[in-house]
Amino acid sequence: MSEQLNKTPLYDLHLELGGKMVPFAGFEMPVQYPLGVKNEHIHTREKAGLFDVSHMGQVLLKGEGAAAMLEKLVPVDIIDLPVGKQRYALFTNEEGGIMDDLMVANYGDYLYVVVNAACKYQDIGHMTENLEDGVELEVLDDRALVALQGPAAADVMKRFAPETADMVFMDTRRISVEGIDCFVSRSGYTGEDGFEISIPSADAAKLCKMFLDQPEVEAIGLGARDSLRLESGLCLYGHDLDTTTTPIEGSLIWAISKIRRADGERAGGFPGADKILEQIATKEFDTKRVGLLGSSRAPVREGTELVNAEGEVIGKVTSGSFGPTIGAPVSMAYVKKAYSTLETEVFALVRGKQLPMTVSRMPFIEQRYYRG
């Protein structure tokens, strides 16, 4: 009953580079290259890393009503999203839970949407069911998606596409990179400056090899992608967020646009709005997502129970690892509201021991987005 795994347009390149391939969200993906997870992580923070994220879903929504239509599915201002800008959004369900998190970019004539690999078919179905007259959905299944991340990413990108130099964080442009038609955004999921680049499948390996030929750039696998996003306090859907967590519980209130809140001009009008707006107003909810920093060296991983000084269970870790840059174990967890204040000490039950951890501000390390 082995499931047939998909391959991204960069599969052969991964093998050529010595990538160790593992199944992930229905794809064969490189978890690491010969450099190793820790060094790949550090390299990305110091120079530049190239990530294959082609397993994610890329979708266009076309037609005049596209923004108004998408806005009905997310608690985010899509209608006023300026041309050339990208925004983080959440698909919510009727209970106020999170169906997926996504990126939405306004390219003028259409919206360009990127959704998580594991939720791709669900999200495409959800948008298709909610299509309105005059709005058309196109799945871009003939495109690879890569991320070039790190302090040297901008210099590298400038060599191939000089017009990217004046882009700032969350700017998006459709530009020709070495003659190849790309969707480029200045964004990523590592906490570093960088770009996400959508490339026609046929040209993807060629362009990636050109990036990798640059002295600053190394190929980076999913292992380092995970520790990089974790140190930067960024959620992994299906772990740190799911259909049972609301944006408030998930500490994502910042992602809910002012205009969609109770006193906003376009208040509500998204699935689960009653519950979500009520939670914002009353601040009544049971658990909250927090960052935890360990004081021993032992990583505290997903599923680990958290207790208070009296030994009562007060939460659970949703993702955790050792942060190579911060040099300490970092975790995300849901804890009872009373324990969600910064500097609160909690204890992780690891192999029969109680390891002290401190509720800490996220991101754990400073984000270095380029804001001009």
Partner 1 sequence: MTASLKFAPSHEWVQVNGDGTVTVGISEHAQELLGDVVFVELPEIGQEVTAGTEFSLVESVKAASDIYAPVSGEVVEVNETLDEAPETINESPLDTGWIAKIKLSNESDLDNLMDEAAYKETLD
Binding site for partner 1 (CB under 8 A): 31-32, 36-39, 223, 227, 297-299, 301, 321-322, 324, 329, 351
Residue with Cβ nearer partner 1 (67 or 222): 222
Q: How far apart are CB 71 and partner 1 at their closest, in Å?
A: 40
143-149 vs 194-200, strand pairing mode: antiparallel
Whose Cβ is closer to partner 1: residue 227's or residue 279's?
Answer: 227
**Smallest gap, in angstroms, from Cβ of residue 165 to partner 1?**
34
The token pair at 125 is 């179905």
Three-state DSSP class for residue 209: helix
Q: Which is nearer to partner 1, 119 or 330 (CB)?
A: 330
Min. distance of Cβ 97 from partner 1 in angstroms?
A: 29
Residue 301 vs 337, nearer CB to partner 1? 301
Q: Smallest distance from the beta carbon of 34 to partner 1, in angstroms?
A: 11
Identify which of residues 296 and 367 has a Cβ nearer to partner 1 in the complex.
296
Could you tell me if 223 and 147 are in contact, meaning their C-beta atoms sit under 8 angstroms apart? no
Q: Which is nearer to partner 1, 158 or 297 (CB)?
A: 297
What's the closest the beta carbon of residue 68 comes to partner 1, in angstroms? 44
Min separation Cβ 3 and partner 1, Å: 22
Which lies closer to partner 1 via its Cβ, residue 177 or residue 350?
350
User: How many whole angstroms separate alpha carbon 28 and alpha carbon 37?
Assistant: 17
Cis peptide before 363 (omega within 30 of 0): yes
The smaller minimum CB distance to partner 1, of residues 106 and 227, is found at 227
The secondary structure of the chain in percent helix, strand, coil, rounded to multiples of 5, reads 25, 35, 40
Task: Note whether 207 and 147 are within 8 A (CB).
Answer: no
Show the tokens assigned to 66.
Answer: 């596209």
Q: Are 25 and 122 in contact (CB under 8 A)?
A: no
Least distance (Å) from partner 1 to the CB of residue 301?
8
* Rounded Cα–Cα distance for residues 1 and 67 (Å): 41
CB 82 within 8 A of CB 178: no
Strand 172-177 and strand 143-149: the pairing is unpaired
Residue 53 near residue 255 (C-beta atoms within 8 A): no
Instruction: Tell the smallest beta-carbon distance from residue 300 to partner 1 (Å).
Output: 10
Could you tell me if 296 and 353 are in contact, meaning their C-beta atoms sit under 8 angstroms apart? no
- In 3-state terms, what secondary structure has residue 232? coil
CB distance 3 to 198 below 8 Å: no
Chain position carrying tokens 């050529």: 16
The least distance separating partner 1 from the CB of residue 146, rounded to whole angstroms, comes to 22
Judged by beta carbon, residue 301 or residue 336, the one nearer partner 1 is 301
Query: Among 292, 299, 285, 306, which residue's Cα sits nearest to residue 342?
Result: 292
Of 42, 62, 29, nearest to 146 by C-alpha is 29
